[in-house]
């Protein structure tokens, strides 16, 4: 009799636990879904979400501020000074461009999406986008190159910068040599200094006239 009671008690308990579990299922069955069928459906990102970075290189002045702000050193920038006779134009924010940017790489695999590189940019050309799907099979493909210069342009810009540097250095050396020559000449032929005024050069008082 006791064994029979345990037998039916176990069956009852099993049905009871199924009913408890199904209570949750039935309770949610006719309510709107809170999940989505990703990747067929995608959630809209919040306006200030931090995802993949983008650099509008046409507006970059090569100031390096973003790179200095990055806590993980994942931004690498190289610049070349433009010669004085080359006009690189201005950015859309009105900043004068004085440097070529032959290299602007972001290693997005290292990036921690802190967003610290965005606010310091004076031309607002480095921004967070809403792109969050950018996985790659090859890790090297996660290094993004933003520079728009071709290898030939880089070589030419470097050569012109070097030539301009040499010309400036030559001008400085010539100016220094001229100054040294003038100094040496002044040491050999010192310029006479004007003697100080003495009492002899002062007008003498007229002698008293006889009565
Ligand atoms: S988001 Fe942060 S980690 Fe990523 S590049 Fe910018 S500063 Fe560096
Ligand atoms: S802070 Fe802006 S302008 Fe300066 S190097 Fe970075 S992206 Fe270019």
Give the structural domain span for 107.
53-153
At 116, which CATH number?
Answer: 3.30.70.3270
Tell me which of 52, 115, 142 to substitute to probe ligand 1's pocket, judged by most ligand atoms within 8 Å of the beta carbon.
115
pTM attached to this predicted model:
0.74
So what's the pLDDT on residue 205?
A: 55
CB atoms within 10 A of CB 153: 14
pLDDT digit string (tens) for the chain, length 211 residues: 667 778 889 999 999 999 999 998 998 888 888 889 999 999 888 888 999 999 999 999 999 999 999 999 999 999 999 998 889 999 999 999 999 999 999 999 999 999 999 999 999 999 999 999 999 999 999 999 999 999 999 999 999 999 999 999 999 999 999 999 988 888 887 666 555 555 445 555 565 555 4
- Residue 105 domain-assigned? yes
Q: How many domains does the chain have?
A: 1
So what's the pLDDT on residue 11?
A: 93
Cα–Cα distance between 185 and 192 in angstroms, integer?
14
So what's the pLDDT on residue 207?
A: 58
- Residue 199 domain-assigned? no
- Residue 110 domain-assigned? yes
- Residue 78 domain-assigned? yes
Rg (CA), the chain: 41
Q: Report in angstroms the alpha-carbon separations of 79 from 75, 100, 120.
A: 13, 5, 18
Nearest CA to ligand 2 atom 6: 66
112 C-beta closer than 6 A to ligand 1: yes
Residue 99: nearest ligand to its CA? 2
Tell me which of 52, 113, 119, 132 to substitute to probe ligand 1's pocket, judged by most ligand atoms within 8 Å of the beta carbon.
113
So what's the pLDDT on residue 28?
A: 86
């Amino acid at each position: 009799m006791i064994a029979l009671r345990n037998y039916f008690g176990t069956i009852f308990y099993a049905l009871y636990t199924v009913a408890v579990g199904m209570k949750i299922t039935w309770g949610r069955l006719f309510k709107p879904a809170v999940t989505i069928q990703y990747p067929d459906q995608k959630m809209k990102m919040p306006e200030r979400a931090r995802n993949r970075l983008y650099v509008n290189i046409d507006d970059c002045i090569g100031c390096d501020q973003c790179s200095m702000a990055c806590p993980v050193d994942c931004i690498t920038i190289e610049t070349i000074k433009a010669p004085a006779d080359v006009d690189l134009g201005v950015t859309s924010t009105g900043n004068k461009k004085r440097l070529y940017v032959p290299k602007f790489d972001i290693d997005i695999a290292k990036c921690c999406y802190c967003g610290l590189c965005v606010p310091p940019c004076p031309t607002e050309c480095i921004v967070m986008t809403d792109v969050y799907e950018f996985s790659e099979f090859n890790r090297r493909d996660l290094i993004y190159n933003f520079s728009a210069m071709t290898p030939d342009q880089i070589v030419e810009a470097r050569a012109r910068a070097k030539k301009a540097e040499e010309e400036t250095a030559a001008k400085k050396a010539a100016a220094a040599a001229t100054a040294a020559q003038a100094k040496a000449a002044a040491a050999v032929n010192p310029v006479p200094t004007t003697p100080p005024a003495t009492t002899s050069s002062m007008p003498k008082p007229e002698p008293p006239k006889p009565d």
